[in-house]
Each structure stands twice: as structure tokens, then as C-alpha cells.
């Protein structure tokens, strides 16, 4: 006999694979002011942070009590006290590739169920256009496409069954710089998005862009058409539309295991439906 309630149970199970938690995800962000410029307190969910301005990942790892944001939770306390859904980490200048890989790997082992998000940050507005595409071989941490490609590859190799994502902050800034060079952006220079040499503007759309790119990496819906901080200046419609087009076109790094699992489960479910429906109609036609 065909039992509809079984169908509902199966569908609910399939939906549960990808549905967000009712109360939001638990998130920990570890990094410097470029992480803080992405405005983690304004994310959805239960969010903790350890922010140490101007410091590399290796420095933060070696100085867990240090911070520049007083509401920070030291990373050892955070990692030991909660099972996070997402942990974001921000490599920065002053460290090395091997140190970044070792530190992130150690934190991944401490949080075996978390999706790890590598936050790329960005270079200064004077150097980003050239520095991001620099492929010079070096052991030092760089904010470049090549560096993060190598780091993500190494993490995937070390943890083939883990879910890994990177933010596209540096990539999108580079695309915007290209648009400016070609006359296809509503701003005249990349520094229009910055409030100083390193940090994002509260009035030129920098906060808006970086916060929504972080949301994208975490699978959260974007905050469209508004400023993020109450103190931020309202963006022009033209700039808002342009920035929206940038982060809405970005895809997070795929999570193949979860996706394949979902497709397999969905396929099995469809087969179940077809078999039960065929049996039902066959019986009815006798």
C-alpha cells in the first residue's frame, strides 16, 4: 500500500540536508581588522570573534590573549567551548605558507564538524591590482590569487572529506579595479571603496561589499540595497546596483561531498516515488 506519510518523511529528510538552522548557524571569525571590516557582528546567527588588528595568523596563534576588539573571545577558549558550524580564518602578511597551513589544519582538527572559510582579505588600494595577480614563488604569506589557490589545494589534500570555502574579497576587488581601468565602474579609483590605505570605507560601499561577500561565503542571504552599519552613508542607486552585481555573481567554493550526497539521496527518493507510483497504478488498472 502506498503511504503518503512516508513521502513526506523522505522529503523532509532531503530538505533537512540543506536547510538552515531555525536559530541560525554558530560562527567563529579569527583574523585582524580586515576580518572586522567585513562586519561579523552583523551576520545572522550566533557569532563569536577573535580580532587582533594588524596581526598575521601565526601571531594570533602564538598570542591567543591578544586582541584589539574588547569583545573578542580568545581562540583557544572559543574552539574548546563550542561546536561551530563555520569557522573563518584570515591569513595575512607576516606569516608563511607552511605556518598558515599548519595553524588552519590544527584548528580544523579542533573543530571536526565545522565548515572552514578562508577569508582572503585584500591589499592596500595602491598595490592590490598588481599584488593580487603576482605569481612570484615565495614561502611568505601573500594576498594573491596564486597564494590562496595553493593554500586551498593543500587544505583539500590534507582534509579531503571536509567542507572548505574561501571568501572572494580580493578577487572581487581585482575585478572592480579592472572595471575602473576599462571605464565600466561607477567609481573613478579603487581607493573610493577604502577609508584609508588598508580599510574599507563607511561611505563608499566598502563595508557593504565586504560584508555581503562574507555572507555569500557563509551561505547567508545578502543584505541588498541598504547600508550595513547605521553610521554608514547611504549608497547611490548606481553604486548599489553595481556592487550588488559583483557579489551576486560570486559563487562560493563548491562543497562536492554535500552536493553529491544530496543528489544521490534525491535520486533515490525519486526512484522510490516512481516505483510506488507504478505499483499503485498497476494495481488500480487490474
CA dihedral for 151, 259, 250, 34, sign (positive or negative): negative
Query: The domain that contains 44 carries what CATH number?
Result: 3.40.50.1110
Contact in structure between 38 and 59 (CB atoms under 8 Å): no
Residue 14 vs residue 31, higher pLDDT: 31
Residues 170, 120: Cα–Cα separation, whole Å = 6
Inside any domain, residue 220: yes
Inside any domain, residue 231: yes
Burial 232-245 (b: 16+ CB within 10 A, else e): beebeeebbebbbe
Inside any domain, residue 141: yes
Residue 209 vs residue 261, higher pLDDT: 209
Q: Apex CA 261: angle with CA 260 and CA 264, to 5°?
A: 85
Give, as one character, the DSSP assignment of residue 164: E
In this structure, the strands spanning 26-31 and 115-118 are unpaired
Q: In this predicted structure, what is the pLDDT of residue 12?
A: 34
Residue 230 has pLDDT above 90, yes or no: no
Inside any domain, residue 193: yes
pLDDT-derived band at 14 (thresholds 50, 70, 90) equals very low
210's torsion region: left (phi>0), alpha (psi -120 to 50) or beta?
Answer: alpha
Residue 262 has pLDDT above 80, yes or no: no
Given the C-alpha cell 590544527, which residue does it identify?
Answer: 106
Residue 250 has pLDDT above 60, yes or no: yes
Instruction: Quote the percentage of the chain above a pLDDT of 70.
Output: 79
Q: In this predicted structure, what is the pLDDT of residue 267?
A: 46
Q: Which domain holds residue 76?
A: 24-253
Inside any domain, residue 169: yes
Residue 127 has pLDDT above 70, yes or no: yes
Inside any domain, residue 184: yes
Number of domains present in the structure of the chain:
1
What are the tens digits of pLDDT across the range 18-52? 344 545 799 999 999 999 999 999 999 999 999 99
Residue 102, C-beta contacts closer than 8 angstroms, at least 6 positions apart: none
Residues 71, 28: Cα–Cα separation, whole Å = 13
DSSP secondary structure, 21-63, as one string: PTT--EEEEEESHHHHTT-GGGSSSEEEEEE-TT--HHHHHH-
Contact in structure between 141 and 97 (CB atoms under 8 Å): yes
Inside any domain, residue 95: yes
Q: In this predicted structure, what is the pLDDT of residue 265?
A: 41
Inside any domain, residue 262: no
Q: Identify the weakest region by mean pLDDT among 186-190, 214-218, 220-224.
A: 220-224
Neighbours of 220 (CB within 10 A): 18
Amino acid at each position: 500500500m502506498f503511504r503518503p506519510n512516508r513521502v513526506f518523511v523522505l522529503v523532509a529528510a532531503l530538505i533537512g540536508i540543506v536547510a538552515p538552522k531555525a536559530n541560525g548557524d554558530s560562527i567563529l571569525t579569527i583574523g585582524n581588522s580586515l576580518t572586522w571590516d567585513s562586519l561579523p557582528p552583523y551576520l545572522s546567527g550566533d557569532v563569536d570573534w577573535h580580532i587582533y588588528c594588524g596581526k598575521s595568523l601565526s601571531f594570533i596563534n602564538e598570542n591567543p590573549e591578544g586582541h584589539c576588539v574588547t569583545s573578542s573571545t580568545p581562540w583557544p577558549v572559543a574552539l574548546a567551548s563550542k561546536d561551530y558550524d563555520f569557522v573563518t580564518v584570515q591569513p595575512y602578511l607576516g606569516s608563511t605558507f607552511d605556518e598558515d597551513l599548519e595553524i588552519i589544519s590544527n584548528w580544523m582538527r579542533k573543530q571536526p564538524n565545522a565548515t572552514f572559510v578562508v577569508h582572503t582579505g585584500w591589499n592596500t588600494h595602491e598595490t592590490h591590482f598588481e599584488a593580487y595577480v603576482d605569481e612570484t614563488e615565495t614561502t611568505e604569506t601573500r594576498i594573491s590569487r596564486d597564494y590562496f589557490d595553493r593554500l586551498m589545494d593543500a587544505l583539500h589534500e590534507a582534509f579531503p572529506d571536509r567542507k572548505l570555502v574561501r571568501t572572494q574579497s580580493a578577487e572581487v576587488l581585482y575585478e572592480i579595479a579592472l572595471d575602473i581601468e576599462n571605464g565600466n565602474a561607477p567609481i573613478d579609483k579603487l581607493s573610493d571603496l577604502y577609508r584609508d590605505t588598508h580599510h574599507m570605507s563607511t561611505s563608499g560601499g566598502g563595508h557593504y561589499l565586504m560584508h555581503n561577500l562574507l555572507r555569500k561565503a557563509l551561505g547567508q542571504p545578502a543584505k541588498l540595497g541598504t547600508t550595513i552599519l547605521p553610521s554608514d552613508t547611504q549608497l547611490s542607486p548606481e553604486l548599489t546596483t553595481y556592487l550588488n552585481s559583483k557579489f551576486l555573481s560570486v559563487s562560493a567554493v563548491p562543497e562536492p561531498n554535500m552536493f553529491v550526497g544530496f543528489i544521490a539521496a534525491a535520486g533515490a527518493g525519486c526512484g522510490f516515488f516512481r516505483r510506488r507510483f507504478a505499483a499503485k497504478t498497476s494495481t488500480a488498472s487490474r
